[in-house]
Amino acid sequence: MPKKSKAATLLLSVVLILSMLVSACSGSGSNAGTSGPAANKGSAENSSAGGSANDVNEKEMELTVAFLGLGNMQEVGLVQEEISKITKEKINATVKLMPIDVGAWTQQVNLLLAGNEPLDLLVTSSFFNFSSQVAKGQLLPIDELVEKWGPGIKDTMEPAIFSSTKIGGKSYGVPSVRDTAADQGFIARKDLMDKYNLIFDNVKTFADLEPIFQTIKENEPGIYPLVQRSQAISVTVDLVRGYIDTLGDTPGVLIVDNQDLKVVNLYEQQIYKDALQLARKWYQAGYIMPDAATTQESNISLVKAGKGFGYLSNMKPGFEAQETNVTGQELVAVRLNKPISTSDAGTGFMMSIPKNTQDPDRAAQLLNLLYTDKDIVNLLANGVEGKHYTDAGNGLIKAPEGGSNYVFNQWQVGNNALAKVWEGTSPDIWEQTKEFNKSAIFSKALGFSFDSSPVKTEVAAVTNVNNQYKAGLESGTIDPSKLDEFVSKLKQAGLDKIIAEKQKQLDAWAKENNVQ
């Protein structure tokens, strides 16, 4: 994230979101009485048939925008007032910003969509019941609305990303403009790299990191050469994630380089077995901390405290500056995979128009402003100048003295490339990000979202087995010889049924969207 004071919040946000994947994707039965997506077709499409903005916007209204309230939202009212001054002039509407705490997100959004309270724009995600919301008719198809009121939105991102939100041939969300691709690599403290004349020039594979790890181990007692990000994001996970599309949760994955739609069991793939062996080798060599399978300390806290040298991670343009800010240590990185865009690259965070919008046309006009109006985007992303940030020179901005009571995780909403860039980040970060996204290898399942509810019993049983083996195996603590036992117990718990269900849904999605 191109903002110094947001980096720690961003990291925490990602961890929280990952921890909610299982519950968020399980669906809700409380809205079963609502109709399917076809029921709303008329209201959305007829509203945009003819008529100018002046005709449509004759009546002033307040438009409500709901999003994840990650960060510091104490002064969201001030930002709301400034945005409303612009929207009142442009579309005759004021804006009500509705941040929702991540812990209450699924329940509160379900209540909003099931009720009649006005809700005009909503952050949606494949992590948070998007496909279920579409199936229940809680979101409007927006193709014609966007074509009429925001035809330029599609030019703000890669065409494949823009089109990835289609279900049944219709779009129900617009992806936020952010880093929609990721590459994998290793990032480490620059002071220790320099101290021992270590360079990344000859590091072409993860195994090539070993001489660097050995140097740190021999010369810096008390500093672990490699710390994993968390129990959920282990060393092994980071070793394999640059090659696979997880298709949501569970071990059923696509091998991205294969460019096919064959769902396979990750734990039976050679790439996973090799990663386990490498993690085990590093653990036995003392490169990984002894309690890696049980520690609650994160990579950030360990590096910040001077206990960690570096860590594996997915990356993006500006990643070194972001992690330098959050760890308090100057860091340098080496990238070891090509960027990939997986199934949730577009659907991970979107803006949708709910069925209980007061006016689909006006909602679509506000949606357009979130992708085209730099003043609105910057207010939402960074707050009010002089209050929440100050000028840092050279076109950059910085935090005010004493910090800010408005810190918003902008990656979830709109066209972030229009926002001002924070000090410490390259001024051309968004040009870099655009090229980075464009260079990615796109998964053939881009836009697919797995609904685990048909196999929720098996998912629960598999989760129990994972809890017994996964952290130990993937941190290198347990010998990889236990993998066969792990897989056997997973199959007894219903793993094959989960993979079969995922393949069934993927095949249906591919047919529906003409993907071969």
| Spans of all domains in the chain | 34-178+345-442, 182-338+451-516
The β-bridge relationship of strands 183-189 and 310-315 is antiparallel
pLDDT tens-place values along the chain, 516 residues long: 444 444 333 333 444 344 333 333 333 233 323 333 333 333 343 344 445 666 678 899 999 999 998 778 899 999 999 999 999 999 999 999 999 988 899 999 999 999 888 999 999 998 888 888 998 999 999 999 999 999 999 999 999 999 999 888 899 999 999 999 999 999 999 999 999 999 999 999 999 999 999 999 999 999 999 998 876 788 999 999 999 999 987 789 999 999 999 999 999 999 999 999 999 999 999 999 999 888 888 899 999 999 999 999 999 999 999 899 889 899 999 999 999 999 999 999 999 999 999 999 999 999 999 999 999 999 999 999 999 999 999 889 998 998 889 988 888 999 999 999 999 889 999 999 999 999 999 999 999 988 888 999 999 999 999 999 999 999 999 999 999 999 999 999 999 999 999 999 999 999 988 887
Helices (H), 373-482: 374-382, 429-438, 456-474
The pLDDT, as a whole number, for residue 347 is 93
Q: Which residues contact 420 (CB under 8 A, 6 or more apart)?
A: 378, 381, 382, 389, 395, 396, 397
The yes-or-no answer to whether 34-178+345-442 and 182-338+451-516 have a common fold is yes
pLDDT of the residue at 51: 53
- Going 46 to 51 to 53 to 56, the CA torsion angle's sign is negative
In this prediction, residue 297 carries a pLDDT of: 87
Please report the pLDDT score of residue 52 as a whole number. Answer: 61
Per CATH, domain 34-178+345-442 is 3.40.190.10? yes
- What is the C-alpha to C-alpha distance for residues 513 and 336, in angstroms, rounded to an integer? 33
How far apart, in whole angstroms, are the C-alpha atoms of residue 236 and residue 266? 12
Of 298, 312, 292, nearest in space to 238 by CA: 312
Q: How many CB atoms lie within 10 A of CB 291?
A: 11
3-state secondary structure 144-204: HHHHHHCCCHHHHCCHHHHHHHEECCEECCEECECCCCEEEEEEEEHHHHHHCCCCCCCCC
**How many Cβ atoms sit within 10 Å of the Cβ of residue 261?**
18
pLDDT (0 to 100) of residue 70: 79
Category of 250 on φ-ψ map: left (φ > 0), alpha (ψ -120 to 50) or beta: left
CA-based nearest residue to 424, from 319, 306, 302:
319
2 CB-side CA count, 13 A: 27
Euclidean distance between CA atoms 433 and 436, whole angstroms? 5
CATH superfamily of this structure's domain 182-338+451-516:
Periplasmic binding protein-like II (3.40.190.10)
- What's 482's DSSP letter? G
